[in-house]
Amino acid sequence: MHRSSYLRMEYLVHYYDSMIITSETKVNVLDIGSYDVNGSYRSIFDSDVYHYSGLDMSEGPNVDIVPKDVYHWNEIKDQTFDLVISGQALEHIEYPWLTMKEVARVLKPSGICIIIVPSSTEEHRYPIDCYRYYPDGMAALAKQAELNVIHLSTGGIPEIDAADDWTGADNDTVIVAQKRPVTNKPEDPFRYEKRMGIDGEVIQKYRTWQMAVEEACKEFDREKQIILFGANEIGSQILNIVGEGKVYCFVDDQMSRTDGQFCDKKVLSFAEYCNIEEKYNCLIAADQRTSFKMKKQLEIHGKQSAILYIEPRQNQWDKMECYYHILNIWLEMKQKGKSLASFFETKKIKRIAIYGMKELGKRFYDEVTDIGIQVVCVIDKNPDSVSGEFAVISPEQEIPDADSVVVTAEYYYQEIRRQLGGKVNCPVYSLLEVLKSGFELDL
């Protein structure tokens, strides 16, 4: 059980609770492949609302049902469960279409299933390893089992600045499906996707072209038509999404390919575009790498444009360098017998809030409490993942009075400081500031 899988399951169970909790009786939950290997989903359902049962092919921890036939669960009656879940199991099943048939059989009418499977990651036999899944593959399995697809994603995240815990080499594919009759569903839970490539690079993007176009057009002048940079398949899809009436023309210098027309729209050269660009909104219709290059080239010429991709906010190497810099200063302080106490004494700080409780946050908490500083709370984007002898809140909650907030998520310090600007009436310091100031004050 990897962390990203647990976070997605927990998020989706709560997101769809209006479809899952439909009466005052307990929600019957079946977890397929529930054998506890480095964790399970059971804690998500640790309340009086749910009755959780685990099913697996072998007896063991967190297993309640072991069917004699793994493809025919005769031990379970038809229409027994309100919710069927599964994570990191379907890739180990030789005939998953038979499993999906059983999922549909044991679900009550309008029951929900949430299944998480890897789309990548290395081979891991347990005892066999058969498949990797993308949304289209999961949709096909649901269709064959006569389940209605509600949501599909790979690497789906609820917000663009979701914590790194949501990302991993598995690049989880998720399907949420419903047994007929179909009921009203909420909006899509994941607007964005965050995937890790083979080289470890993390790529963030909008989950669908529709979402990407909506986001790109937010800043457009609604009175102006759109010019699409790129007479290609992507441009054709955008044209269908925004509507022909909102697009004036395409821009593409490869006139031999377009013959001056594309999708019944004129195709201009870049030089022709420059003569009329002030009258129109400009949207680049290209792949991610090309879009970033074109946007930069247009900026050089003083032209504004929008793209369909999320511009990289972070570089993994930059983050590691930042992390290394902090640890190096901290270690040097320790070696020279320096303490953070002088910083807090000089600033007359006795009570602080700590933003971020990953590795650096934990070390910082230990050090400040050892010198008598009171930590009034810990602020974290994923408060449920943080535990300790302190109050934990999310950034959206009201922050208790403190003499200062110290941000241990150094790479995001400027962004976090802006977010906290109107919420706190005290200074906001970065961990690096505290370390450097403490070092200088003690010299």
Q: What is the pTM of this model?
A: 0.64
Structure tokens given for 243: 């509507």
How far, in whole angstroms, is CA 424 from its chain's centroid? Answer: 27
User: Where does 114-181 have alpha helices with state H?
Assistant: 135-144
If you average pLDDT over residues 88-104, what whole number do you get? 97
Taking only the tens place, the pLDDT of each residue in 304-322 is 899 998 866 545 566 777 8
If you average pLDDT over residues 416-433, what whole number do you get? 88
Distance CA 37, CA 123 (A): 16
Q: What is the residue-wise DSSP string for 237-265?
A: HHHHHH-GGGEEEEE-S-HHHHTTEETTE
Taking only the tens place, the pLDDT of each residue in 332-368 is 888 888 888 889 999 999 999 999 998 899 999 999 9
How far, in whole angstroms, is CA 119 from its chain's centroid? Answer: 15
pLDDT of 200 strictly over 70: no
In angstroms, what is the C-alpha Rg of the chain?
Answer: 26
What is the bridge-based pairing of β-strands 404-407 and 374-379? unpaired
Whether the Cβ atoms of residue 259 and residue 306 lie closer than 8 Å to each other: no
Q: What is the residue-wise DSSP string for 169-227?
A: TT--EEEEEEPSSP----S-S-SEEEEE-TTS-EEEEESSHHHHHHHHTTTS-TTS-EE
Of 50-64, 326-340, 427-441, where does mean pLDDT reach its minimum? 427-441
SS3 of residue 38 by DSSP: coil
Taking only the tens place, the pLDDT of each residue in 258-267 is 568 899 999 9
SS3 of residue 17 by DSSP: helix
